[in-house]
Amino acid sequence: MRAGPVRRSTGAGSRVGCVLDLPFRHIEAASDAYFMSRDVYGHRCHNHGAAWNLDGRWFDGSNDYVDAGGHAALDPGAGSWTVEVRFRSTNQARQGLVYKDDNTDGHYLDIYDSQQVHFLVRDGGSADAIAGSTLGLTDGQPHLTTGIRDEADGKLRLFLDGDWDAAPVTAANTGGADVAPSANAEIGRLSPTAFKLKGLLCRVRLYNRAEHVPRLLQRAMLSRRS
């Protein structure tokens, strides 16, 4: 079966738009193969074991992950940032969703130990984080989670299925910081040795802007229908 056409995001040649788009259900690369992301950058991604199916990519919680490379476009820099993941998980341990962090600078989105979403931004070893209020997300049901770093007001925001999942948190330690980790963006784990995802990833998107609530609601509604 052939995948659909590559959809180019707005912002080619600029700093506005989608910098990483991985619609896994439409990318039928083998379990150990390279493929291109569906965005203006066309990142060369290496799939390590995650198996394709009609809904996305299945990660086994042991060795599976996707390396999306270390292009500078995947760094927040000093600007606003949005990480968006549609997932379905059944494991009860902590699990990484999107990770680009070198333990000094970086950002990541994960399912925390009490099974709520957790979004962190780090600069110079100092970090700001926001944790969701919805527990039990390892319920085997599809969810759309969105973490936002908004430099317009220096806040971190977190949404789940198109709605607020926590009150905004002031980024007291990283607001205005140039976050540029010397690490590749990895999907499906939180470090090379720990916190592996056991579940399905349907789509991963990174934006170099703070996405607005109407867009989040629209995508949440579309994800429920698909």
In the numeric block, which tokens belong to residue 135?
């527990």
One digit per residue, pLDDT tens: the chain, 226 residues?
344 444 443 333 345 599 999 999 888 877 779 999 999 999 999 999 999 988 999 999 999 999 999 999 999 999 999 999 999 998 888 999 999 999 999 999 999 988 999 999 999 999 999 999 999 999 988 999 999 999 999 999 999 998 899 999 999 999 999 999 999 999 999 988 889 999 999 999 999 999 887 677 777 776 655 5
Can you tell me whether residue 74 is helix, strand or coil? helix
Residues 59, 65 contacting (CB under 8 angstroms): yes
Amino acid 149: pLDDT: 97
Amino acid 224: pLDDT: 59
Q: State pTM to two decimals.
A: 0.88
Can you tell me whether residue 69 is helix, strand or coil? coil
Domains and CATH numbers, the chain: 18-70+78-225 (2.60.120.200)
- pLDDT tens profile 169-213: 999 999 999 999 999 999 999 988 889 999 999 999 999 999 887
In the numeric block, which tokens belong to residue 192?
């090379």
Residues 24, 6 contacting (CB under 8 angstroms): no
Amino acid 215: pLDDT: 72
Amino acid 194: pLDDT: 87
In the numeric block, which tokens belong to residue 87?
């997932």
How far apart (Å, rounded) are the C-alpha atoms in residues 76 and 179? Answer: 6
Amino acid 192: pLDDT: 84
Can you tell me whether residue 6 is helix, strand or coil? coil
